[in-house]
């Protein structure tokens, strides 16, 4: 990482105002104003750091409207890290204004796994009271409004038992390898078929699995919200915990946001804590997104080749945290295409419009607007299934399709691979 990264003045001076970022910007697309564009954000960040801009409620709202999709970074000729600077300024905003009660409660739960387990169980028991359940899609529709629970929106439903609490600590499959699974909060408490599918695949590959059950949230929701105290706690816990499993070949993560956080953003976050930065970087060679790891398995590809093609058309959405942050886009397609027909949507790389906790809770109209083009392009493919290795994308795309009445099933690529192993003759 270059030293320029957190020097707001230098970054703003390095912006040559070429405007290449603007047509790609998710917030500018739904709110076409120079102020809510990468170029506008950089101007404001420079003014703020020079003492010429006060962080008032209006400025707070502007900085909180960025989706952190990194589209701008991807096309910028000077690689200007707009997203990282906005994450930094959101920490200043949090220090000045504090956090809303529901964010404080949510981030506190992320630090306390046992209480989160109880809260999730409580949610499972009572979800039928406030929500209309949609069993087939593992989703529910809110009957009332609260932050994050807007009336009429589709949300993932909680499961009776979390993924981590449903399986033993170690699963011996024949010793052809030893891997740890980092599951991510949404897949642990809601989309539990992802973890189950990963276990099925690793069993076929005869690889022993360690559930590493004391893992905590990767910290991404807090990082994008500017709650750096929570990020510090979670990241240090996870690094230290992972270091205790030196015998493992790899840690695999079936979630783009969690793997980008651990593999890329931990080192960014620790830019001013040298020891922790180097510990995070030392772990990196062992951290893999799940399809990134599995795509290297000749054995898996050979077994998939022996299975029939399933009669289902799949379209694949590229999560921002997979393609732009980790360069992963070929791997899931290579694996899925062994047993499914793939039809690309017109812009698979377009951000789904999730944007993080603040956008979902306080700027939901932006999330709705940003989600509609993605729902329309999924409909245009006439696919039976839309896939992405990210449960935040799944939550956002599921709701966007629900609002647009697009009836397409969502599956993580790991679920598709396991289904092919199971059902392919
Ligand atoms: S990260 Fe995305 S939403 Fe934010 S300024 Fe860049 S392109 Fe726009
Ligand atoms: S692409 Fe980069 S250099 Fe060009 S206007 Fe956007 S941020 Fe500035």
pLDDT of 368 > 50? The answer is yes
What pLDDT is attached to residue 2? 39
Measured CA to CA, the distance from residue 268 to residue 321 in angstroms comes to 14
What is the chain's mean pLDDT, rounded? 92
pLDDT of 126 > 80? The answer is no
pLDDT tens per residue across span 375-414:
999 999 999 999 999 999 999 999 999 999 999 999 999 9
C-alpha of residue 323 to centroid of ligand 2, in Å? 20
H helical segments located in 77-172: 82-97, 101-111, 113-130
Give the ligand 2 atom nearest the CA of 75: 1
26 Cβ closer than 6 Å to some ligand 1 atom: yes
| pLDDT band, residue 1 (cuts 50/70/90) | very low
280 Cβ closer than 6 Å to some ligand 2 atom: no
Among 44-53, 267-276, 331-340, the range scoring the smallest mean pLDDT is 44-53
Give the ligand 1 atom nearest the CA of 86: 4
Token duo for residue 361? 């809770």
What pLDDT is attached to residue 156? 80
Determine which residue's CA is closest to atom 3 belonging to ligand 2.
15
DSSP 8-state class, residue 158? P
C-alpha of residue 59 to centroid of ligand 1, in Å? 16
306 Cβ closer than 6 Å to some ligand 2 atom: no
pLDDT tens per residue across span 148-194:
666 777 878 778 899 999 999 999 999 999 999 999 999 999 999 99
Q: What is the mean pLDDT of residues 131-138?
A: 56
305-423: CATH, from 3.40.570.10, 3.40.50.11810, 3.40.50.300, 3.30.1490.190: 3.40.50.11810
Pocket mutation for ligand 1, best pick of 39, 71, 370, 371 (most atoms within 8 Å of C-beta): 71
Residue 108 C-beta-side C-alpha neighbours within 13 Å: 9
pLDDT of 369 > 90? The answer is yes
65 Cβ closer than 6 Å to some ligand 1 atom: no
- Class of the CATH domain delimited by 3-97: mainly alpha
C-alpha of residue 342 to centroid of ligand 1, in Å? 29
pLDDT of 98 > 50? The answer is yes
Residues of CATH 1.10.1060.10 domain(s) within the chain? 3-97
Pocket mutation for ligand 1, best pick of 30, 35, 38 (most atoms within 8 Å of C-beta): 38
C-alpha of residue 8 to centroid of ligand 2, in Å? 14
| pLDDT band, residue 333 (cuts 50/70/90) | very high
What pLDDT is attached to residue 348? 97
Give the ligand 1 atom nearest the CA of 70: 1
Determine which residue's CA is closest to atom 6 belonging to ligand 1.
72
328 Cβ closer than 6 Å to some ligand 1 atom: no
Residues of CATH 3.40.50.11810 domain(s) within the chain? 305-423
Buried/exposed 78-106: b ≥16 CB within 10 Å, e otherwise: eebbbbbbbbbbbbbbbeeeebeeebeeb
57 Cβ closer than 6 Å to some ligand 2 atom: no
**CA 153 from chain center: how many Å?**
19
Q: What is the mean pLDDT of residues 36-48?
A: 94
**CA 335 from chain center: how many Å?**
20
Q: What is the mean pLDDT of residues 76-82?
A: 93
Beta strands in 284-345 (DSSP E): 287-289, 313-316, 341-342
What pLDDT is attached to residue 118? 81
DSSP letters along 187-247, please? HHHT-THHHHHHHHHHHHTT-EEE--TT----SHHHHHHT-HHHHHHHHHHHHHHHHT-TT
β-pairing verdict for 208-210 and 178-181:
parallel
Whether this model's pTM surpasses 0.85? yes
């Amino acid at each position: 990482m270059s030293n320029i990264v957190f020097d707001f003045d230098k970054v703003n001076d390095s912006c040559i105002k070429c405007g290449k970022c603007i047509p790609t910007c998710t917030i500018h697309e739904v709110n076409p104003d120079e102020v809510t564009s990468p170029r506008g954000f950089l101007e404001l960040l420079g003014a703020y750091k020079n003492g010429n801009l006060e962080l008032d409620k209006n400025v707070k709202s502007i900085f909180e409207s960025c989706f952190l999709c990194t589209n701008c970074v991807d096309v910028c000729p000077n690689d200007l890290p707009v997203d990282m600077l906005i994450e930094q300024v959101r920490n200043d905003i949090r220090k000045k204004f504090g956090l809303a009660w529901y964010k404080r409660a949510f981030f506190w739960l992320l630090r306390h796994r046992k209480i989160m387990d109880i809260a999730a169980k409580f949610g499972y028991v009572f979800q039928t009271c406030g929500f209309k359940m949609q069993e087939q899609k593992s989703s529910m529709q809110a009957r009332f409004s609260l932050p994050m629970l807007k009336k009429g929106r589709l949300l993932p439903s909680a499961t009776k038992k979390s993924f981590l609490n449903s399986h033993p600590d170690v699963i011996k499959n024949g010793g052809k390898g030893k891997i740890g699974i980092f599951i991510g909060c949404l897949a642990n408490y809601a989309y539990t078929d992802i973890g189950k599918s990963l276990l099925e695949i690793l069993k076929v590959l005869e690889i022993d699995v360690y559930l590493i059950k004391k893992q905590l949230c990767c910290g991404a929701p807090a990082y994008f919200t500017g709650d750096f105290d929570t990020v510090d706690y979670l990241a240090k816990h996870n690094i230290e915990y992972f270091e205790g499993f030196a015998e493992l070949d790899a840690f695999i993560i079936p979630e783009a946001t969690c793997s980008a956080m651990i593999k890329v953003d931990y080192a960014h976050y620790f830019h001013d804590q040298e020891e922790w930065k180097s510990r995070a970087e030392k772990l990196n060679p062992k951290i893999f997104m799940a399809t990134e790891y599995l795509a290297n398995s000749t054995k898996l590809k050979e077994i998939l080749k022996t299975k029939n093609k399933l009669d289902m058309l799949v379209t694949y959405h590229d999560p921002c945290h997979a393609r732009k942050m980790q360069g992963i886009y070929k791997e899931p397609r290579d694996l899925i295409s062994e047993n499914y027909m793939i039809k690309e949507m017109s812009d698979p790389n377009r951000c789904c419009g999730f944007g993080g906790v603040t956008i979902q809770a306080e700027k939901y109209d932006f999330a709705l607007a940003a989600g509609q083009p993605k729902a329309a392009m999924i409909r245009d493919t006439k696919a039976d299934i839309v896939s992405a290795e990210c449960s935040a994308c799944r939550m956002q795309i599921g709701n966007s399709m629900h609002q647009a009445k697009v009836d397409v099933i969502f599956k993580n690529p790991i679920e598709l691979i396991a289904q092919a192993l199971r059902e392919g003759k």
